[in-house]
Amino acid sequence: METEILFSRSEKDGMAWAEITLNRPDKGNALNMPMFRQLASIVSEIEADRSLRAVVIRARGRFFSTGGDIKAWGALTPHEMSRDWILPGIEVFDRLARLPQPVIAAISGHALGGGLELAMAADLRIAVRTAKLGSPEVTLGMIAGWMGVSRLAGIVGVARASHLALLGTPITAEQALDWGLITALAEDADDLEKQLGGWIERLCANGPAAMALTKGILATAHRDLRQHHASAAAEAAGTEDCREGVRAFMEKRPPVFRNL
C-alpha cells in the first residue's frame, strides 16, 4: 500500500524545513488511524531535529482533506470512539500545534471537518481562492471531535465558530480570509507556491528560539479541553441520529434525523 502521508526535508542556503504531504487523493485525503500513526511518527522526527526552521502541511489531489474517514469511525461504539479515535487524533494534532517550529497549512483544495481541524493546528494558513473550508459534522449527527470547535472559536470568535459548526455549511476561502480563518489567499496553485516560498524564506531567517517562545505565549490562550471533547464526541456517536447519518452517507441519501 502506498504511504498515505509523505515526509520530506528541504534545504536552501543552509536553512532547512520539513514538508508533510497527505497522499490519499483517491479518498479525498480522508484521515484514518494509519495516517495518524504516520503523522505521530513524523512529528517525533521533527521534534528531534533542531535544524528544521519551519513545517509545511500540504496535500495531493483536489482536496486538502475531506476530514475523518467515515468508514474508519462510523461503526465504532461510543467508548471506542472516545478511546481509539478522538483522543489519539487530539493528541497528534496537539503535538503538531506544539512544535517549536512555525507550522504552515498550504490549503490547495477543500478543507472540511477533520481536514479543517488539521489545518487549524497550524500557525499560518494559506488557501487557494477556489477552496472551501467548513465544519459539516452536524450534518452527520456528529461533532468536530479533534478540538475543532474550540480551535475555531479561538481563531474566528464564538459567533463565527457557531455559524460554521452549527449550520455545517462551508465558506469560501475569500470569506475565510475576511474572518481570519486563513491568513493569506492565493489566486491559484502557482501563486500559493510563490507566497509559500516567501513565508518559508522569512521564517528560516527569523530567530528559531524567539519563534518557539512566541508560540508558547500564544498557546496559553487555549485551555485543555481534550477530555470534554472526547466525552462529547462519544455521546454524539452513541445517538441514533449519528447512526442514521452514517447509514445515509453510505447509502448516498439525505439523513432523516429524529433527535434520538
Q: What pLDDT is stored for residue 221 in this prediction?
A: 66
* 244 annotated active-site: no
Query: Within a 10 A sphere around the Cβ of 116, how many other Cβ atoms?
Result: 32
Q: Give the closest residue to 133 by CA, choosing from 155, 158, 103.
A: 155
Q: What pLDDT is stored for residue 76 in this prediction?
A: 81
Q: What pLDDT is stored for residue 58 in this prediction?
A: 98
Residue tagged active-site, from 2, 91, 117, 251: 117
Report how far residue 245's alpha carbon sits from residue 223's, in angstroms, rounded to the nearest whole number.
Answer: 31
Task: Indicate the pairing of strand 15-22 with strand 110-112.
Answer: unpaired
Task: Indicate the pairing of strand 15-22 with strand 5-12.
Answer: antiparallel
Q: Going by C-beta distance under 8 Å and a sequence separation of 6 or more, which residues neighbour residue 154?
A: 221, 222
Judged on CB neighbours under 10 Å (0-12, 13-18, 19+), 254 is exposed
> Quick one: how many helices (H) and strands (E) in the chain?
12, 10
Q: What pLDDT is stored for residue 1 in this prediction?
A: 53
Q: What is the mean pLDDT of each run of 10 residues along the chain (260 residues)?
A: 87 92 96 94 95 96 93 85 88 95 97 97 98 94 87 95 96 98 97 97 90 84 67 81 87 84
Q: What pLDDT is stored for residue 70 in this prediction?
A: 86
Q: What pLDDT is stored for residue 28 in this prediction?
A: 96
The residue with cell 497549512 is: 105
Residue tagged active-site, from 19, 137, 187, 240: 137
Q: What fold, for 5-187?
A: 2-enoyl-CoA Hydratase; Chain A, domain 1 (3.90.226)
Q: What pLDDT is stored for residue 259 in this prediction?
A: 72
Strand partners, 8: 19
Task: Indicate the pairing of strand 110-112 with strand 132-134.
Answer: parallel
* 187 annotated active-site: no
pTM above 0.75, yes or no: yes
Helices (H), 121-239: 148-156, 158-167, 173-179, 189-205, 208-219, 226-237
Report how far residue 200's alpha carbon sits from residue 83's, in angstroms, rounded to the nearest whole number.
Answer: 36
Q: What pLDDT is stored for residue 213 in this prediction?
A: 85
Report how far residue 49's alpha carbon sits from residue 67's, in angstroms, rounded to the nearest whole number.
Answer: 29
Q: What pLDDT is stored for residue 64 in this prediction?
A: 98
Three-state DSSP at 172 gives strand
Q: Domain coordinates of the chain in residue numbers? A: 5-187
